[in-house]
Structure formats: structure tokens, C-alpha cells
Structure 1
């Protein structure tokens, strides 16, 4: 039975038998399946009735989408999806639906078939960040900084508007980045001759040209320039600069740049300080370890040694050993010496086991450039710790002063780490002897340091001198801190050293500029000395004996503590590590 829009009649064929015809009641647009003129009859047009086809008649003015129209739309969707997959960075991601039973279905599938193990593709560089949710080795909480909740190395941007085709900024931007970094370079382990580096970096030559610094070094310096420049537009691209620096540092040794060893070492030191400053301790340790391995592998710890050592083999290429080239000038050899000590200081700040070092003490780059003779040496650090160092402390050699201060700081921490109240008599005697030796070395070294107040605040050397004094005072706190509760002399040593760290020679810190990231740790150490003393005095307030005249009053202690918090606050604005240390000091301060 037909619907209301059609009627049926019967007739006869010439061959006999009834036939059934359909009389259309409505004519419309042409059928989209007809290749000849269509009469528009529905539901089946005349041409389609005379020449039946697999596809039924379809009209564009029907109540729903025709099959052809649906296919065309499906083709458009598939083409758009293909474009999206081929160019993910240029398209907006499609909305993805979530199957709440996906895990259940997957478990069912796995129960029916054996698992297929597919090894993951290695990432170019994706170490854990102490601020990432999966990190387990950092002392910093994942939420300590909103700006560092994700490690930038997890997202690898392919390009940046500030990086050209060769992944290097424009000439004017390079100048700007160098000017932002170089005035503070020494605070972050930069050991090369700065004027020479700047001149070579600005040469109008391609990236990776042998006369320019290596790509790893340039990329690391550009990163620091972006980080210190605090330009909002550039800071948005800081991750892109970081990725380029890490990638080039990891691969430059495979290239042919004539200074690839020294420059890669410099890049590793700069990256280690960058990660340390931004609170990514695991990455900082990775870069430090790489720098130590490269420095030792290249024989930097045996430069100018009085002992005879075979040449250092860096690796093999085409079955022939590759040796570190002989330095071509006094300055070049001096940069290698300073390179080792820059790695050494970084090593003492972050990690530690001892090695035999023959490399002579560092000098300022100007001394090497002026042709100051480089002496041979043997057991350099051991002689210093044994009190038989023959090299006097040159007040003009900032590099030498901070190196010796770092050694004393590490030695104090290492020695007190072996202390136990249950030591055997022989162990105690050895500890007591080492304690007295290190204590004398610290006092002797401190007496030779020039006062911070004798330097102008705009003198770049004052920043390293502040660090040197602070490391020396922190060495005293490390050495005497374990006895401060029971021994009044040790307590006074700690308080005096803590006051010195906080005072910083009474120079206005806001005029000094960037300081080494370890300063936050040293200020925090000093603040805890004052917090402990305030707590001790409050506990003893009801005791019958009165405090001696040598003790600081609680108000004086609180004043130093507030000054320490102010110093941490000043340097915490763009320093994740210092910001975290400030929060811990404030927590302890609020608890007393």
C-alpha cells in the first residue's frame, strides 16, 4: 500500500501479465545520481527507472542530508583531520572524547592476548625536574613556584620568533643578550676572557664557524642573557633558548669546532648554574657531573703538573686517538686552568669526592693575557689543606680567593659529616686533629682577605668577594655548629660568622647586582644560627644564671634575622631556589 502522495494502477504488457506503475504526485529538483536530463519525478525519476542503478535517487531538497552530501562532508572532515595531523602546530586540536570504560576494555583485550612490549622512543633530553610531579629526588616541593610547575624540557618547541633559520638571534639581539650577561658572568662560572669572547661572538660569521664561540657556548650565553634581561617578550621564549642550549651542549663534542672541548665545558658550567638558580637540582647535578667528567677526561686537573702523565685521550674517531690540542698562547692555557677551577668550585658546591689535583692555582684572565708565567704544580689542594701551600693569597686574584674559600667550606662540611658522639678514641683523636687544622686554615685565610668595604659597589669583583667572605664564614659555622649547643666558644664562632654573612661588609646589596646562587644557601645558614640562639635564650630565660655580657640580646638577634630575611627577599624575586629558602626561613622564624 502506498502512502498518501502516490497512487497505483494496473495494466497489461504486450507480453501479458499485469504491470504496476507509480504515478508521481510531486516534481522537484533533479536527482543527483542522473547523468542525463532528469524529469524530477519522486521517489524514482524516469531515467533511473529506465536504467536502474545501484544507488537510489537522491534529491538535495529532501528532508534530510542525502547520501552524496553526507559523503562529501565526511571527505571534508577527513581532509581537515589529515591536515591537523600533518601540521599539529598550525591547527587547533580537535575536541577529544573520553571513553570512561577504556581501561576496562584494555584489560579485557590484554586478558585475551599476550602483551606486546614496545620500547619507548628515547627523548632528546628529558630529565626529571624537582618541580615536576614525577620527581622523587628533590628537596623542593612541586608547588613552591607557580612558574616552575613543569619542566621546560618536557615540551620541545621547534622554533622561536627570536631564533633565526640557524637557531641564532639577530645581531642586535645578540649584542643585547651579551650586555645583559657578561657584567655578571663571573658569578655563574664564566672562566673565559670576556673581551675576547664578546669580540668573537659578534663576528659576522655563520653559527658554528671556527672563529666564533661554539654553538653550545653561544646558546648557553644567550639563555643567560634572556634569563637576566627580564624582558617579558623574551622570557616567554626562555624555554626555547634552554632547549637549544641543552641540545648543542649535548652534541657539540661530536662536531669539529676547534674549541669544542673548552667551550662545551664552559656551556656545561653555565647550564649547571642556570639549573641551580632555577631550583632544578637534578639537572644541575647532571650538568655538573658532565663537566667534571669532561674536565678530568681532558686532563684539566693535571695542567702544568710536575709529574709526568701520558697524553689524555678524549675518544676515538676513524680508529685514531683524538688528543686535546696544545694551547697556542698563554691566555689559552690560562683559560684551561681557570676552567678546571670553575668546575672544581661548582663541584664543591653541589657534589664532592676528592681527587689528586696538580693544576696550579687560577689567576685572573688579565694576568694570562699579560704573559704572567704559569708555574708547574703538584698536589695543589692537598698542600693547601696541609698548611704547606707556597702560593700566597693575592688580593687581586679574586678567582684564587673564591676557590680556596670553596675548598674550606667543603672541607668543613666533609669533616663534620664524620662526627659522632660515640666515636672510638682513635677516631676521635683523628677528628680532633683535623678539626684544629681546618679551624686554623679558616682563621688564617680570613685574615688575608681584603675587606668587602674597600671595593666600590659597581666593581664586578665585589660580588665574588662577597661570596668568598660568605663561604669562609659558612665554613666556620659548618665546623663549629655541631658543638654550638654545648660549647660557648663554638657558639660565639657561629654567631660572629653569621653576623658577617648577613652584614656583607655593610654594602647596599640592591646596588651590587646578581650574586652566585649559593648565596641564598649561605644566608639561610646564617639565619638559622640566629633562630637557634633565640630559641636557646628563651628556653634558658627561667634558669637561675644570667646571660654573659658577650651574648647578643634577643632584639639584636631578631634584627640580624630580619636583615637576613630582607637579603633573601631581595634576591628571591627572580630566583626560584632563593624563594624557596626564604619560605623555609620564614617558617622557622614564625615557629619561634
Structure 2
């Protein structure tokens, strides 16, 4: 029998109190309760849930414990600990006003919190740490090391060995710069490399205004680790990435004099890195950040012939803040090249990651007119080749309409790269708009656009330097190889929809695909690191060969064997393309995925 709890109210002197009486267990109302009626119902311990009395008792116990906790904060551990995500930033604001020695005492070179911890939110304000506090990595890091893919899923990342410091040691920084800067143009680096290196190696604190901003430094260190092939460094790659992402998100809160340009560079580097390792959504996010920042800073209107009021990028005490004028022609060149680097990144990301019907031109949307003149190669600015009379007006629009540039602008390797990217993107955009059931007016409009862009591509092709007899190790060779591949891929994108029914379009596609996999006679294994978009370009060429092999097999004896255009010749070209993809996929998750898709398409025919 289950017993209930009976509470009978009885008088006692001049006070009232509860007297507990023994329950006889009779349901629904026990005997004592029938004798002394009350407002509350009887409560039994065998009910489906906790009784009201038990709930009240638990509540009282919890409140008493909380009261004790509040009254004795030093003797208890709080049951709920709140975290201020901006505490590090506010602390650094206060500490930046004090002497550097107050930030990191010499007797305690390491703080208890790793800078690579997700809770670290240090900004671009100076930390005050001298170089001798950054040496924790130097004793453990070598410039070389065993090779290994930085994107390998088997890699076990560990915590940062330079616990509590803002950046690795001086020797390690030199190593990371040596690993990254020779290949930096392939990954969207638009700052002057010599000036960047000199400023990075200054014996000043992390975040000092004379050094590059923490965001761009962290992004460069990340790339240096990624390209290092040093196992001790590669084990820290995830920590370096976390640090770079944190600074890219928070540096705009700081007061570094180059925070806009350097944050833009960091966003571009992170987007290429995330694309390379296969984190596509994050790559698109950082690309969008770069596009927004470039437009907000007015980098699309540099040296515009049109009247243009500088945009306000912020407010301080209700006073608009605008980007300061460039200090010299080198910094102006960095801004020009920075805008075009963002435009190329946007076009690459769009084509590589968006379906054909979704390929768009955000930077060329209605209302956005690009007036910035074509870029020079970054070294040319220090040689004084950006003449004072150079101006820009509807730069991209005029190129697509006229295709041939006048004057001295638009012929640098960097400008050719930008133009090839524009043509590739425009062809992909046009291909995505094609449908076989177009209305008559739409068909004529599409035909006119098709013929126009095809004419621009063929004219542009005649201006390109040949690939033959180039030094395979020279950085300019990689750039020209990319430019030729982009131009050929533009032809494929433009004609692929009609290659099944139109022999001329089919021949355009085959010729372009053959050009892409012969590499101008260069040994692709010796070229070195290449822009991550190369995998997408080679995939387009491989699909041309797969489609043609399938067509040849369906026609059986339509072509004689062992001649140009035979299945053997097409197979040889396809193997060349897949070999190039395989070489690039060793350290790129994106290309590895693309190679798998090509293999699946080939096995299906």
C-alpha cells in the first residue's frame, strides 16, 4: 500500500503550524483528510511523476545552494560561467596605452591561453612582445621535412607549440616567407613582395603599424605552412588556419593604418586556401567578404575619369571616415592590383563552385561600373610605369566590346590574366543561359552575344605570348600557362552546348582541349604550384575527350584507327589531362575531387 502525505491544520496557542498525521493509504482521499477537510488534494508517492511537495522541496534546495554560492563567491565554483567574447579586445585596448613590458612580463613569456584557442580574439593592436618572446617554434622547426599533403584527412593536428605568442619565431617566419613568396602570385597575392618581406621581418611587435597587419601576416604564415612539406609545421596547420580566420574577422576593429588593404589581401588568400583544401562554403564566404570590402573602399573607381566622391567606410564621432590617399605609386599599384585580384577570385569561385545556370557577375551588375585601369605587374609600379596620365573608364565593358586595347595599358602579364578570367567567366555565363526552346527574339540576342564573345576570344588569343621555349621554373611561365588555359577553356565553355550537332563547334572544343593538355610542350610535373582553378580548366578539357571518345565508339568505324582524331589519340590526350589532374590533386582536395568525377565519367562510357 502506498502512503500519502497528509497535512492537517490545527490551532496551537496564537500561532498556526502544520502537523503531520499518519496516512491510512485509502484513495482517493485518506481517512485523516476526510476527518479534517483541506483545500489541497492528497499526494501519493506512487504517482506517475514527482509530487508537488517534492518539486517544492527540490526548488527550495536549489535556491538555498544558489544563495550560498552568491554569498560566498570565493569558496564555490559557479554553476554557470559567462564568457565575454570581446574581453581580449577591450583588454588590449587598455593595455596598448601602457608600456609594452606590461603586456607580457619578461618573467612570463607565455600566457595561459594559446593564441590559437577559439576563444582568443586579439585584434590588430600592438602586443608589445619583443622578438625574443617568439622563439618557441624555432627549436622544433626546420625549413625542410618530410613531404605530406596538408589536406590529408589522416593528419592529426596538435595544439600550437608557440603557446601564448602572437606569431612564430623569427627563424620560422623567414622559412614561411621563403616557402610562400616565390609562389604567391598563384594564390592572389597583390602586395609588393619585397616591401612586404622587409616590413614583416622588422624587429617590431605583432600588429605594429610599421609591419603588415596581423590578418595578412597570419594568412601568409598559413600558406607558408601549407606549402612547407615540413611535418612539424604541417601538424600545426589547423592552428595557423584558426588564427588567420580570427584575425581576418577582427582586424577591422583595430587601428592599423593599412587595415583595409591588408584585410582585403587576407580575405583573398584565405579564399584561395579554403578552395584548395575543399572547404567550399567558407571559400565563397571569404570571396564575398573580399568583394564587399573592395567595393566599399572604392577600389573599382581608382583613377576614374568620372567624378567620384570617395565612399565613407565608417563614422567616428559622427564624422565620416574615408580611405586615406595612397602614400606612393607602389601603394596605389597595390590597390589597383588588389581590385583585379578580387575580380579574378570572384570569377574563379563562381565557375568552380556554382552550377552553370547560376554563374553570375556580381562585380559587373547594373549600377557597378569598373573604371580602375588595367593592372601592371607588381614590380612595374616601383619602376615608375604607372604614369600620371593613366585613367580608367568602363574598363571591362570596353574590353568586351572592342577586345583590342590602345595605349600602354592592358598588356602586362597580370592584365592578360585578368582578361582571360573575364572571358572564361563570360563564356560560362553565356553557356548557362542557353536553352534549345528559346523564343525568336531571345535566340537572336543570344546569337549576337555568342558571336561577339567568340570574336573577342579569338582576337585576344592572337595577343598572347607563346608558351614554347619558356623556362619551366620561371613564375611568369606559370602565369602564361594559366592565361592560355583560361582562354582555351573559354572557347570550350562557349561552344560545348553546340558541339554535338555543329562540326565547327566540335572542332573548336577539340582544338582548345588539345592545347590545354599539351601544355605548350612544357613538362607539367616541373611547373610547380598552380592556381587552384587549373583543376577546373583541365576537367573541362577531359570532358571534351570523354564525350568525343563516346561518340567515336558509337560510330564504330567512322574514323580509321591510329590517325588524328582516332580513339587512341583521344585516349592519349585524356590520359595527359588526367595525369595533370593527378599531379595537382596531391595537395589539393578540390582537384582530387574533380579527378574522381572525371574518372567516374570515363568509366560510364
Q: Could you state the TM-score of these two structures normalised by the residue count of structure 1? A: 0.72
C-alpha distance in structure 1 between counterparts of 2:537 and 2:176, whole Å: 29
Alignment deviations for residues 184-208 of structure 1 (CA, whole Å, 9 cap, x no partner): 0000000011011011111111000
- For the pair shown, the structure with the greater C-alpha radius of gyration is 1
Displaced runs of 4 or more, over 4 A: 122-125, 392-396, 545-551
* Secondary structure at the counterpart of residue 345 of structure 1: helix
1:256-290, Cα deviation, whole Å (9 max, x unpaired): 10000000000000000000101111000000000
Partner of 2:296: 297
Q: CA deviation at 1:480?
A: 0.4
Matched-pair contact (CA < 8 Å) for 2:215–2:262: yes
- Structure 1 match to 2:575: 562
Q: CA deviation at 1:235?
A: 1.0
Q: Which residue of 2 aligns with 1:458?
A: 473
**Structure 1 CA distance, aligned partners of 2:442 and 2:216?**
47
Change (3 A) 1:233 1:189: same
Q: What is aligned with 2:492? A: 477
Aligned partner of 1:537 in structure 2 is 552
Measure, in 1, the Cα distance between the counterparts of 2:380 and 2:460. Answer: 22
Deviates more, 1:445-454 or 1:252-261: 445-454
* Alpha-carbon shift at residue 250 of structure 1 (Å): 0.7
Helix, strand or coil for the counterpart of 1:386?
A: helix
- Residue 589 (structure 1) aligned with residue 592 (structure 2): no
Name the counterpart of 1:173: 172
Taking structure 1 as reference, are residues 148 and 548 closer, same or farther at Cα in structure 2, changes over 3 Å only? closer
Q: 1:147 to 1:385 in 2, by over 3 A?
A: same
Match of 1:34 in 2: none
Alpha-carbon separation, structure 2, partners of 1:162 and 1:502: 44
Rate the CA distance shift 1:272–1:546 in 2: closer, same or farther, 3 A: closer
Aligned 1:140-219 pairs, distance under 5 A: 147-148=152-153, 160-162=160-162, 165-219=164-218
Bigger drift between 463-472 and 384-393 goes to 384-393
Gap regions ≥5 residues in structure 1: 1-81, 87-121, 126-144
Distance 1:252 1:576 in 2: 29
Gap change, CA 1:124 and 1:529, over 3 Å in 2: farther
Q: Is the 8 A contact 1:383 1:389 kept in 2?
A: no
SS for the counterpart of 1:316 is strand
Deviation string 1:357-408 (CA, Å, 9 cap, x unpaired) is: 0000000122211112151110000000111653468797210011000000
Q: Report how far residue 318 of structure 1 moved.
A: 2.7
Alignment of 1:175-574 (within 5 A): 175-351=174-350, 352-353=361-362, 354=364, 355-372=368-385, 373-374=387-388, 375-387=390-402, 389-391=404-406, 397-541=412-556, 552-574=565-587
Distance in 1 between residues matched to 2:293 and 2:586, nearest whole Å: 34
- The equivalent position to 2:592 in structure 1, one of 579, 587, 591, is 579
SS in 2 for 1:321: strand
Q: Distance in 2 between matches of 1:586 and 1:559?
A: 15
Secondary structure of 2:468's counterpart equals helix
- Cα contact 1:166–1:207 (8 A) shared by 2: no
User: Is this contact kept in 2: 1:499–1:526, CA < 8 A?
Assistant: yes
Number of aligned residue pairs:
449
State how far apart, in whole Å, the 1-side matches of 2:564 and 2:251 are: 57
Call closer, same or farther: CA 1:289–1:501 in 2, change over 3 Å: same
User: In the TM superposition, what is the alpha-carbon distance from 1:427 to its structure 2 partner?
Assistant: 1.0
Spell out, residue by residue over 1:218-275, the C-alpha distance to the aligned partner (whole angstroms, 9 max, x if none).
Answer: 0000000000002111111101100110000111111010000000000000000000
Q: Name the TM-score, length of structure 2 as normaliser.
A: 0.71
Change (3 A) 1:288 1:202: same
Deviation (angstroms), 1:413:
0.8
Q: 1:391 to 1:553 in 2, by over 3 A?
A: same
RMSD over aligned Cα atoms = 2.7
- Answer whether contact 1:192 1:365 (CA < 8 A) is retained: yes
Answer whether contact 1:409 1:475 (CA < 8 A) is retained.
yes
Other structure's SS at 1:204 match:
coil
Give CA-to-partner distance per residue, 1:39-72, whole Å, 9 cap, x none: xxxxxxxxxxxxxxxxxxxxxxxxxxxxxxxxxx
Provide structure 2 residue ranges, at least 5 long, that are not aligned to the other structure: 1-76, 82-117, 122-149, 351-360
Tell me, in whole angstroms, the C-alpha distance in 2 between the residues paired with 1:218 and 1:554: 51
Using the alignment, how far apart are the partners of 1:221 and 1:359 within structure 2? 26
Residues 304 and 149 (structure 1), Cα distance of their counterparts in 2 relative to 1, 3 Å cut: farther
Seen in structure 2, the aligned counterparts of structure 1 residues 508 and 494 have a Cα distance that, compared at 3 Å, is same
Change (3 A) 1:250 1:146: closer
Q: How do residues 6-155 of structure 1 correspond to structure 2 at under 5 angstroms?
A: 147-148=152-153
Structure 1 pair 557–305 and aligned structure 2 pair: CA distance change class (3 A): same
Distance in 1 of aligned mates of 2:409 and 2:217: 32
Q: Is the 8 A contact 1:380 1:389 kept in 2?
A: no
